[in-house]
Amino acid sequence: MGSAEFLTQLPAALATLATLAVLAAAVFGRATHADRDIDIDIDIGIQGLQTAERELAAQIEDLLPQTQCGQCGHPGCRPYARAVAAGEPFNKCPPGGHATIAAIADLLGTPPLALDPEHGREGPKLVAYIREAECIGCTKCLPACPVDAILGAPRQMHTVIAAECTGCDLCVEPCPVDCIEMIPAPVRSALMARDQRPPVAA
Amino acid sequence: MSPARTFPGGILLPAHKHASSATPIRTPALPPELFLSLGDATPLVAVGDPVLKGQLLAAAGSDGLPVHAPTSGHVARIEFAPRAEVPGHRAVLIPDGAERWCERTPVNPATRTLPELLAAVRAAGIVGLGGGGFPTDIKLAPTHPIDTLVINGMECEPYITADDRLMREEAGAIVAGMRLAARLLGDPARILVGIEDDKPEAAAAMTAALAVADDPREIVIVVLPSRYPAGGERQLIQLLTGRQVPSGGLPRDVGVVCFNVGTLYALHRALALDEPLLSRIVTIAGGACREPANYRALLGTPVAHLLAASSYQPARCEQLLLGGPMMGIPLDDVQAPVTKTTHCILAATAAELPPARQPQPCIRCGLCADVCPASLLPQQLLRHAVARDHRQLERHHLLDCIDCGACAYVCPSAIPLVDHYRAAKAEVRALRAERGAADQARRRFEAHQARVARQSGERSARHAGLIGTSADHDAPASAPVDAAPVATDLLEQALARAGAATPRRAPLERALSAAENRIAQLETQLAALDATATEAQRNGLRARLEQARLDGDLARQRLLALPAEPSPTPDGNPQ
């Protein structure tokens, strides 16, 4: 193979690892036994890529707020993390908001995106609250809760364990009497006055 | 005994201790009101109830610390205190002046078992009185073998003399507390008492008390040169033993437990006299007090009461600090009560603590890094703290900062470094708590999914039981089965099928029609929203609509992917 021919093939060759490897083998005339090596190399390469993608998904999942709300269009935070690792835009998580987007952008080494308003708006953390006087004890909200944070039994009043509620909103819709509302989450640890930041030097 | 032992960094500071260390500890008059923070402790008394000194007012909450009545009187009110250091409810006790004790039953500690002693320490509500406030009973029940008990009598911060006075006046009780602590810790091989060289009287008193106690163990009083912050727990341990407490670790990780002398005194009072922790020694110091002194202050005493006893002159006070000049925090409210960790109130004049200069940009002189006793990089930490880069802050071990303030003290640009770190630490801790909550949510979500899978497996098992088909695969390990033993085989078979077989048509059709219904419903709702609807409502509906569409699409795709024939499994009685 002449060098001119090699150059014309260069862009295509760069497109995939496999092509490049085959080409290199051809150039150096090691086709016969090198083919097998290349196959093995490619196998390891693809497996490595899959492993890398899985690891990336796990790292992304660690950055997600674990609200399990499905607002991103995926049934839970892990599937969303996998989709992002596979190339889906990472601006679909309203509970995580800008902080989560920035963290994922940081991880992926790409500029951050604006939150996609299709999937909701960023807001304060909420928790579900059941107006107990109105609850009829239908148990319909119980299976909707992704983290089993609603306590109740048939014809018994239900209540939300606020400390475990992720604020995903999924219990609001199944309620036939609309007695569940989302209220601002109680502040876990108020910053003390002495923990306020001093001004920065000009 | 050892190679040269030192800790990195540190600074020499003017001590300013003589003003308050010359006079004996005073007992102030009873204040008109005592303010006792309740936290989330459960109150056991009602408003108006008479209470006796030492009576339990509230059972321990999440911090494990009970609240006792520091004197006899009655509960005037239980109120919300928004300006407190930690906002929350507090009980207000009006003393009757009689100091009538509740019933005490002192038992010779030597005759009691270790669990009994530990329970007594817990019931007495003792915490580390050096400033940490860590519950003492937890430290006394170590999970690691302890070979060295370190006693902290350093008191390295200027102006503060509470421990100095206590050692001079109550050395016998401190030594008794030390021996109780040693017994609870499984008799460590040696006890090292660290005292700074500017407190010769205290060292002499402790030596005399030790001679009286005649303890067979190796107990050494080590007089150490004054260098701030030699009284920091980690710094003192390094000075005395040469061991470094690991980053993020505790002294017990290197076989050491460290107690402040005030804590040992409280321990002795609790175990030998059956007295809960009701008071502590507080230094009132600074040029704006005409009579600086130490006070045996009942917990809950308003700071103003102690200041008045020391002839406080507000006009001369430039800065009123809760704590010493290095680590103290500004005290806005002089009615704030003395707590278990209040060791000093400093009313400093402008000559003593000049007003903070305007911070200038960092000139990278590196003085801060030279004096940092934790070997941190204060310049890097400042940069990351200003940028709120919490990951970098954690990587640079921000949480190992002990707030000693040496960096800010030497900074020629007058940057309040330690204030930045304190704020950043609070943020990092809040983030960690958030991350912990997210992990908890993930675990609960996974448990929820496992349960749903198990229940659906059990349902199909009931169906399978009717026809008894066998399966080729084992049950998936992720779906534990806890049904009656008779059904186990059937369950496993069904679970295996549920895991391996192609999905059945009927549930998918149900999912599709449910999704379609939901889409229709949501579209109607969305259309019905009028102009008054908020953007949030609209977006919420849209997001749910989108979810319903996705669910529908998924069900449709799966239905298309099914083999043309319906699955052979009979769809018995669909729910």
Taking contacts as CB-CB distances below 8 angstroms, the residues of chain A near B442 are 61, 66, 68, 77
**Smallest Cα distance from B238 to chain A, Å:** 29
Over pLDDT 90: what percentage of chain B? 64
User: Given A189, A198, A202, which is nearest B416 (Cβ)?
Assistant: A198
Interface test with A, best of B63, B389, B439, B444 (most A CBs within 10 A): B444
> Which A residues 177-196 touch B at CB under 8 Å?
188-196
Burial-class residue B453 by CB neighbours within 10 Å (0-12, 13-18, 19+). middle
What ipTM is given for this predicted complex? Answer: 0.71
Interchain CB distance below 8 Å, B546 and A119: yes
pLDDT of residue A185: 78
Are the C-beta atoms of B244 and B255 separated by less than 8 Å? Answer: no
CB-side exposure of B52: number of CA atoms within 13 Å?
8
The CA–CA distances, whole Å, from B221 to B205, B235, B240 equal 11, 17, 10
Torsion of CA A155, A156, A158, A161, to 10 degrees: -150
CA angle A90, A91, A92 (to 5 degrees): 100
Query: What is the radius of gyration, based on Cα positions, of chain B?
Result: 32
Question: What are phi and psi for residue B282, nearest 5 degrees?
Answer: -125, 130
Question: How far is Cα B16 from Cα B158, in angstroms, rounded to an integer?
Answer: 6
Interchain CB distance below 8 Å, A198 and B359: yes
Taking contacts as CB-CB distances below 8 angstroms, the residues of chain B near A67 are 441
Using the predicted structure, report yes or no on whether residue B557 has a pLDDT greater than 90: no
Q: What is the largest CA-CA distance in chain A?
A: 85
pLDDT band of residue B495 (cuts 50, 70, 90) is low
Q: Give tens-digit pLDDT for A41-81.
A: 444 455 566 778 888 998 999 899 999 988 998 988 999 99
Question: How far is Cα B523 from Cα B545, in angstroms, rounded to an integer?
Answer: 7
**Smallest Cα distance from A193 to chain B, Å:** 8
* Mean pLDDT for all residues in chain B: 87
DSSP letter at B504 equals P
Strand-strand pairing, B56-59 and B67-68: antiparallel
Question: How far is Cα B337 from Cα B345, in angstroms, rounded to an integer?
Answer: 11
For residues A10-17, give the mean pLDDT.
48
The CA–CA distances, whole Å, from A150 to A127, A136, A173, B75, B448 equal 11, 14, 14, 38, 12
Residue B119 tokens read as 């329970």
> Which B residues 527-566 touch A at CB under 8 Å?
535-536, 539-540, 542-544, 546-547, 550
Sign of the CA dihedral with B213 first, then B219, B225, and B228 last? negative
Per-state percent for chain A, helix, strand, coil, to nearest 5: 45, 5, 50
For residues B257-284, give the mean pLDDT.
96
CB atoms within 10 A of CB A137: 12
Q: Give tens-digit pLDDT for B427-482.
A: 888 888 888 889 999 999 999 999 999 988 888 888 877 655 444 444 444 444 44
Over pLDDT 70: what percentage of chain B? 90
Count Cβ neighbours within 10 Å for each residue of B156-182 and write b for 16 or more, e otherwise: bbbbbbbbbbbbbbbbbbbbbbbbbbb
Which residue of B lies nearest to A163 if distances are taken between CA atoms?
Answer: B437
Taking contacts as CB-CB distances below 8 angstroms, the residues of chain B near A199 are 359
Run of H or E including B540: helix B535-561
Question: What are phi and psi for residue B508, nearest 5 degrees?
Answer: -65, -40
pLDDT of residue B466: 62
Interchain CB distance below 8 Å, A201 and B546: no
Strand order across the beta sheet in which B256-260 lies: B218-224, B190-196, B148-153, B256-260
Which residue of A lies nearest to B535 if distances are taken between CA atoms?
Answer: A121
**Smallest Cα distance from B481 to chain A, Å:** 19
Are the C-beta atoms of B256 and B239 separated by less than 8 Å? Answer: no
Using the predicted structure, report yes or no on whether residue A17 has a pLDDT greater than 70: no
Residue B316 tokens read as 């001369």
Closest CA to A70 of B40, B554, B206, B208: B554
pLDDT band of residue B132 (cuts 50, 70, 90) is confident
Q: Give tens-digit pLDDT for B26-59.
A: 999 999 999 999 888 889 999 999 999 999 999 9
Least confident residue range of A5-19, A115-129, B37-51, B502-516: A5-19
Question: How far is Cα A112 from Cα A89, in angstroms, rounded to an integer?
Answer: 10
Burial-class residue B507 by CB neighbours within 10 Å (0-12, 13-18, 19+). middle
pLDDT of residue A30: 38
pLDDT of residue B335: 92
Which residue of A lies nearest to B536 if distances are taken between CA atoms?
Answer: A121
Using the predicted structure, report yes or no on whether residue B532 has a pLDDT greater than 80: no
CB atoms within 10 A of CB B59: 11
**Smallest Cα distance from B423 to chain A, Å:** 4
Q: Give tens-digit pLDDT for B65-120.
A: 999 999 999 999 999 887 776 777 899 999 999 999 999 999 899 899 999 999 99
Q: What is the largest CA-CA distance in chain B?
A: 98
Question: How far is Cα B47 from Cα B89, in angstroms, rounded to an integer?
Answer: 13
Q: Does B415 touch chain A (CB under 8 A)?
A: yes
Interchain CB distance below 8 Å, B547 and A70: yes
Are the C-beta atoms of B382 and B362 separated by less than 8 Å? Answer: yes
Using the predicted structure, report yes or no on whether residue B310 has a pLDDT greater than 80: yes
For residues B235-259, give the mean pLDDT.
93
Are the C-beta atoms of B36 and B299 separated by less than 8 Å? Answer: yes
Query: What length does chain B have?
Result: 575
Closest CA to B3 of B191, B224, B194, B242: B242
Least confident residue range of A189-193, B376-380, B383-387, B464-468: A189-193
pLDDT of residue B493: 56
Query: What's the CATH number of domain A124-186, 3.30.1280.10, 3.10.20.30, 3.40.50.150, 3.30.70.20?
Result: 3.30.70.20
CATH topology for B109-273 is Rossmann fold (3.40.50)
pLDDT of residue B476: 45
Closest CA to B17 of B355, B343, B292: B292
Q: Delimit the domains of chain B by residue range.
A: 31-104+278-348, 109-273, 367-501, 503-575
* Mean pLDDT for all residues in chain A: 77
Taking contacts as CB-CB distances below 8 angstroms, the residues of chain A near B419 are 197-198
Q: Does B290 touch chain A (CB under 8 A)?
A: no
CA A127 to chain centre: 21
Q: Delimit the domains of chain A by residue range.
A: 3-57, 64-119, 124-186
**Smallest Cα distance from B359 to chain A, Å:** 5
Query: What is the radius of gyration, based on Cα positions, of chain A?
Result: 26
pLDDT band of residue B496 (cuts 50, 70, 90) is low
pLDDT of residue A91: 92
Taking contacts as CB-CB distances below 8 angstroms, the residues of chain A near B360 are 201
Run of H or E including B303: helix B303-309
pLDDT band of residue B316 (cuts 50, 70, 90) is very high
